[in-house]
Structure 1
Amino acid sequence: MDITTILFYLAGLVLIYVVGMFLVIPIKILIKLLLNGIIGGVVLFLFNAVGGIFNLSIAINPLNAIIVGFLGVPGVILLLVLQIIL
């Protein structure tokens, strides 16, 4: 093997690594978003179950689901503060 063949193999390996990283990063973001949504949904459900005692509840609708999905537990706190203020 000559030096150009080795360089092409190395360039191919680097290219495979870079493409792999571009595919892994969005998967990490999707997994984080999914976990935020699940944890936020559980906290929202528990808040509605316990908050009924104190006359506090947050409606589960598409907008609230998006807020809780992106922000997680801070999204539930944001919705609670907005409900108390408004």
Structure 2
Amino acid sequence: MGLELNIILAYAVGLILLYVVGWILLIPLKWIIRLVWNSILGGIMLFVINIIGGIWGISLVINPLSAVIAGVLGMPGVILLLLLKYVL
């Protein structure tokens, strides 16, 4: 009887540890997914602004710095780039 209880306790502790490790690894995954989503939206916004904005003379240069700003901040980053270009 004592040996079976030890095995059950070992499985229970193992499952709890597996849950905790999975939860700890899930948090950075959410940040990565959010960064990828913002990068996609920022890149699309840069592309759309250059295509549609070209009609009215509005354009943004797509270089590594603007891509990083648009990628990290998403659509607010693109708006920030527009404000920096046309206000300053």
What's the TM-score once normalised by structure 1's chain length?
0.89
Question: What does residue 30 of structure 1 align with?
Answer: 32
Unaligned runs of 5+ in 1: none
C-alpha separation in 2, matches of 1:7 and 1:83: 63
Among 68, 72, 78, the alignment partner of 1:76 is 78
Deviation at residue 6 of structure 1 after TM alignment: 2.8
Unaligned runs of 5+ in 2: none
What is the aligned-residue RMSD (CA, Å)? 1.2
**For the pair shown, which has the larger CA radius of gyration, 1 or 2?**
2
SS of residue in 2 equivalent to 1:16: helix
Query: How many equivalent pairs are there?
Result: 85
C-alpha separation in 1, matches of 2:65 and 2:24: 30
What's the TM-score once normalised by structure 2's chain length?
0.87
Among 21, 40, 43, the alignment partner of 1:41 is 43
| Percent identity of paired positions between Structure 1 and Structure 2 | 53
Matched, 1:5 2:7: yes
| Deviation readout 1:28-75 (Å, 9 max, x if unpaired) | 211111111011101110001111112111100111111100111111
